[in-house]
């Protein structure tokens, strides 16, 4: 997909699930056009640094060893700290204090990992919202839900989808009927933007009611910048989900889908029973595939011909999105 804006936007972006980063291991990642190393120190804290050693450029994520809160280069054993600074050179009495790797701020929440990206390496100018406490009106104890990873999560890699596109989808209530085979058309009940977030409330009309304002289901969705949507469902099943899109490099993104499904009473297992799992797979986890069938082949239309009801939220969303593009496309 060709878009007239950068694939290296500013904001918080999901890079995986906590369990993918075990203590004492270093792993390579590629996001926002950069090679990265992620490692969890022996103290349990997760760090993400620029991948290539300042000495002679070895990739710290391929064979790098965790040493305390530092990572050791597989090539000549130089040691780098979580602040990116060179801590130790094995064959020299002092480190090179001037040498440093770029550090990417990381936040872990409820088993999901988010990384701050600003093209020039500036510190976070806003905080990643708490994905559970955003909706205090619903159950906020994570233990009341089955954890998303691994059974209730999906990752789709290197899809040709810019993060602005799933965001636009949040304003699009008509596509449910066509893409997701919904039997009722949801209505956009409310939307409001703050500095870095966008809150949508969508309702699914109750077909069994004569009152057109009666809703069988309400979906609250909050877009945290362009990184993704945090949603809570209020209906027959009160579940939560987040859907995140993170650019890998120009032209493609990884997509992360995580569901917190309410536990069956008394069930302490990590995964829901097989029948529940099967239903979730059919009804919810497959929605990503439905959307991808469109997004993969979609063209970005800069000046779309809009239906009357779409125009306002779409155009407002696109204007709001421009704040996250601090550099030109391809830069
Ligand atoms: S390249 Fe990393 S220590 Fe030499
Ligand atoms: Fe969709």
Question: Looking at ligand 1, which residue's alpha carbon is closest to its atom 4?
Answer: 76
Does this chain's domain 11-117 share its CATH topology with 142-324?
A: no
The fold adopted by the segment(s) 11-117 is Rieske Iron-sulfur Protein (2.102.10)
Q: What is the pTM of this model?
A: 0.96
Concatenating the DSSP letter of every residue in 180-236 gives S--SS--EEEEEEE-SSEEEEEEEEE-TT-S-TT-EEEEEEEEEETTSEEEEEEESS
78 in contact with ligand 1, CB cutoff 6 A: yes
Is the beta carbon of 71 within 6 A of some atom in ligand 1?
no
What are the residue boundaries of the structural domains of the chain, listed by start?
A: 11-117, 142-324
Among 66, 40, 64, CA closest to 53:
64
* CATH class of the domain whose range is 142-324: alpha beta
54 vs 56: CA distance, rounded Å: 6
pLDDT digit string (tens) for the chain, length 331 residues: 899 999 999 999 999 999 999 999 999 999 999 999 999 999 999 999 999 999 999 999 999 999 999 999 999 999 999 999 999 999 999 999 999 999 999 999 999 999 999 999 999 999 999 999 999 999 999 999 999 999 999 999 999 999 999 999 887 888 888 898 888 888 889 989 989 999 999 999 998 999 988 999 999 999 999 999 999 999 988 999 999 999 999 999 999 999 999 999 999 999 999 999 999 998 888 888 999 999 999 999 999 998 888 888 889 999 999 999 999 998 8
What are φ and ψ of residue 200, in 5° steps?
A: -120, 140
What's the 183 CA to ligand 2 centre distance in angstroms? 14
SS3 for 99? coil
CA of 88 to the centre of ligand 1 (A): 11
């Amino acid at each position: 997909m060709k878009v007239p804006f950068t694939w290296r936007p500013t904001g918080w972006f999901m890079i995986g699930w906590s369990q993918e980063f075990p203590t004492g291991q270093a792993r390579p990642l590629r996001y926002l056009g950069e090679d990265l190393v992620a490692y969890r120190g022996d103290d349990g804290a997760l760090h993400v640094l620029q991948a290539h050693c300042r000495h002679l450029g070895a990739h710290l994520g391929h064979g790098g060893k965790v040493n305390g809160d530092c990572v050791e280069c597989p090539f000549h054993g130089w040691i780098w700290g979580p602040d990116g600074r060179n801590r130790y050179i094995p064959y020299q009495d002092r480190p090179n204090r001037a040498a440093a790797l770029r550090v990417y701020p990381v936040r872990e929440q409820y088993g999901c990992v988010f990384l701050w990206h600003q093209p020039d390496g500036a510190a976070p100018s806003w905080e990643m919202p708490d994905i559970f406490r955003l909706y205090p009106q619903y159950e906020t104890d994570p233990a009341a839900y089955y954890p998303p990873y691994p059974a209730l999560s999906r990752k789709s890699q290197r899809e040709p989808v810019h993060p602005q596109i799933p965001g636009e989808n949040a304003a699009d209530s008509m596509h449910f009927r066509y893409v997701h085979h919904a039997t009722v058309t949801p209505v956009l009940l409310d939307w409001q933007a703050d500095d870095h977030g966008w809150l949508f409330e969508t309702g699914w009309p109750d077909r069994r009611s004569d009152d057109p304002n009666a809703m069988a289901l309400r979906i609250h969705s909050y877009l945290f910048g362009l990184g993704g949507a945090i949603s809570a469902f209020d209906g027959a099943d009160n579940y939560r989900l987040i859907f995140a899109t993170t650019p890998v490099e120009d032209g493609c993104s990884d997509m992360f889908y995580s569901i917190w499904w309410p536990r069956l009473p008394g069930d302490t297992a990590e995964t829901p029973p097989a029948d529940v799992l099967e239903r979730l797979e059919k009804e919810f986890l497959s929605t990503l595939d439905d959307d991808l069938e469109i997004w993969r082949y979609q063209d970005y239309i800069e000046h779309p011909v809009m239906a009357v009801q779409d125009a306002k939220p779409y155009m407002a969303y696109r204007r709001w999105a421009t704040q996250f593009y601090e550099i030109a496309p391809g830069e």
